[in-house]
Each structure stands twice: as structure tokens, then as C-alpha cells.
């Protein structure tokens, strides 16, 4: 069984409530869940949010459009994943978990399937994308046994907050691989962490809806290339800034 767990919450420090911000009358989380639902190799989708009251609106909305919701720790995201997966009670011996974050509303269904295929075909423990994909297309998959090990052994606060960090910190013990991109798209940013990011995503969705265009990355890339004023809105924002802040805090606290 392949289970997609989408981590999302309302309490983002940089852009609070981002996953429920509306574009064309729909919250961003609905675009993300719809796109994940179009992946052909996915068996189940769970929205994993926190048990905080502020996330009631997110949980209620996901339930209202037919998606399963698990609620757990805000800071220990690794435990939230572990418990969300355990909540389905699967007896399958070959379970895999796909991790997608709520700040990627334009994630590519075909890319999700491509990551899953590589994981299965090459008998990997973990597969992700190379860094030359656009930020906002992020997809990674790992085995149930790897999730169990990380849950039991991860000690660093950064490893509890960033689900896959334990795997990378111990990569010599696992079979890990990446899906490679044909070109370097790392300068494109279609994630939502800052207000400028939301402006870019809003512009993309509205333009594609108005012109009845297929919303895939090939077309998004062309749109950004031909609308530099939109591309430039968030071009200055650093990639993976959240992880960098977590690692800096650990150094400051003596880990």
C-alpha cells in the first residue's frame, strides 16, 4: 500500500493560515489534495495536522471534501507521520509512505507516480527528487520500516521536526536514490512560505483558469518565463529556509 501523508497546519510562522488562503473561491489545500488524488499509484491520502484548536478549520475542511485527517503533535512532525500511518491499521508487509507538505499546492501528479515507480522498481528504502527540480514540486517516499526506525531512533529536534532528515543523516545504512531532472529548474519557486509566494501561486492559478490552460509544470514554467514580473516576486527567497533555521537553533542550543 502506498499512503500519501500531507503535513499541513494553520500556524506557519512566516505566513499564518497559508493552506486555507483562497484563490478563486477555493483554499490552497484543496488544490493540493486534488492534484495528489490524480496520482495513479497512490492508494490512500491522509491530511496530518496538529491537535491545536486553530487547526480545526483545516481538519473540518479536509473532512468535508472527503479526506481522512489525523491530528497530532505540532513540533514533533515525525511522530505525527508515524501515528498518522499507524492509524490506518494496515496489515500489508510492503507499505510505503509518500511525504508531501502543505506548502506545495501545485505538486505534479505524474511526478508523484514517477517517484513511487523508482522506489518500487529499484527496491529502494527512500526516494526523493534531485535539487534541480523547482521548489514546490517536492515529493519523497520511504518504507514503513524506515519510518519506524526514524521514530524510535531520531533524537535531534531537527530530526523530529523535519521528517526525512534522520534518513539523510544516516544515509549509509539505507538504500536511497533520487529522481533526476532533465534540466535545472531550481530557480523556479512555486511553494508557499511567504506572502510573495502566495502572490505568485495566485497569479498562476488565476491566469490558467482564465485562459483554460492545463495546470502542469511545463506550462507553469512557460508562464513564469514570459511573465518576469511574476517570477521576480519571490525570486529573492532562500530555498529550504525552514530547515536552515532549525539547524541554526540546534547549534545555538548546543546540540
Going from the C-alpha of 148 to that of each of 75, 79, 119, 152, 191, the distances in angstroms are 18, 10, 18, 6, 29
Determine what percent of the chain is predicted with pLDDT higher than 90: 89
Instruction: Please tell me the predicted confidence (pLDDT) of residue 158.
Output: 93
Instruction: Tell me the domains of the chain and their CATH numbers.
Output: 2-182 (3.90.550.10)
Better pLDDT: 249 or 123: 123
Closest among 174, 166, 162 to 150, alpha carbons compared:
166
pTM of the model: 0.93
Per-residue pLDDT tens digits for 30-80: 999 999 999 999 999 999 999 999 999 999 999 999 999 999 999 999 999
Going from the C-alpha of 202 to that of each of 15, 100, 151, 186, 237, the distances in angstroms are 14, 20, 36, 20, 17
Element spanning 97, H or E: strand 96-101
Is the pLDDT confidence value at 92 over 90?
Answer: no
Task: Give the mean model confidence (pLDDT) for residues 121-126.
Answer: 97
Interhelix angle for 28-37 vs 56-64, to 10°?
40
Which triple of cell numbers denotes residue 170?
544516516
Going from the C-alpha of 65 to that of each of 3, 26, 81, 142, 240, the distances in angstroms are 18, 12, 21, 27, 30
Per-residue pLDDT tens digits for 203-254: 999 999 999 999 999 999 999 999 999 999 999 998 766 555 554 555 555 5
Per-residue pLDDT tens digits for 25-42: 999 999 999 999 999 999
Strand partners, 211: none
Per-residue pLDDT tens digits for 159-200: 999 999 999 999 999 999 999 999 999 999 999 999 999 999
Amino acid at each position: 500500500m502506498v499512503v500519501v501523508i500531507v503535513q499541513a497546519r494553520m500556524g506557519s510562522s512566516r505566513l499564518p493560515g497559508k493552506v486555507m488562503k483562497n484563490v478563486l473561491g477555493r483554499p490552497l489545500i484543496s488544490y493540493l489534495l486534488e492534484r495528489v488524488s490524480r496520482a495513479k499509484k497512490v492508494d490512500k491520502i491522509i491530511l496530518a495536522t496538529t491537535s491545536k484548536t486553530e487547526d480545526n478549520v483545516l481538519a473540518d475542511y479536509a473532512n468535508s471534501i472527503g479526506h481522512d485527517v489525523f491530528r497530532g503533535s505540532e513540533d514533533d512532525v515525525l511522530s505525527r507521520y508515524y501515528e498518522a500511518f499507524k492509524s490506518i491499521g494496515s496489515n500489508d508487509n510492503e507499505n510505503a509512505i509518500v511525504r508531501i507538505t502543505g506548502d506545495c499546492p501545485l505538486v505534479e501528479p505524474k511526478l508523484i507516480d514517477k517517484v513511487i515507480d523508482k522506489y518500487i522498481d529499484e527496491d529502494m528504502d527512500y526516494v526523493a527528487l534531485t535539487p534541480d527540480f523547482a521548489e514546490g514540486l517536492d515529493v519523497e517516499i520511504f518504507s514503513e520500516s524506515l519510518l519506524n526506525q526514524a521514530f524510535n531512533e531520531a533524537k535531534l529536534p531537527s530530526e523530529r521536526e523535519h521528517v526525512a532528515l534522520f534518513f539523510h543523516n544516516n544515509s549509509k545504512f539505507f538504500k536511497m536514490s533520487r529522481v533526476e531532472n532533465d534540466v535545472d529548474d531550481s530557480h523556479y519557486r512555486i511553494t508557499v512560505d511567504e506572502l510573495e509566494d502566495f502572490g505568485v501561486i495566485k497569479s498562476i492559478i488565476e491566469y490558467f483558469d482564465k485562459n483554460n490552460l492545463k495546470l502542469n509544470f511545463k506550462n507553469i514554467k512557460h508562464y513564469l518565463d514570459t511573465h518576469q514580473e511574476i517570477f521576480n516576486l519571490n525570486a529573492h527567497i532562500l530555498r529550504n529556509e525552514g530547515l536552515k533555521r532549525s539547524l541554526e537553533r540546534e547549534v545555538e542550543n548546543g546540540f
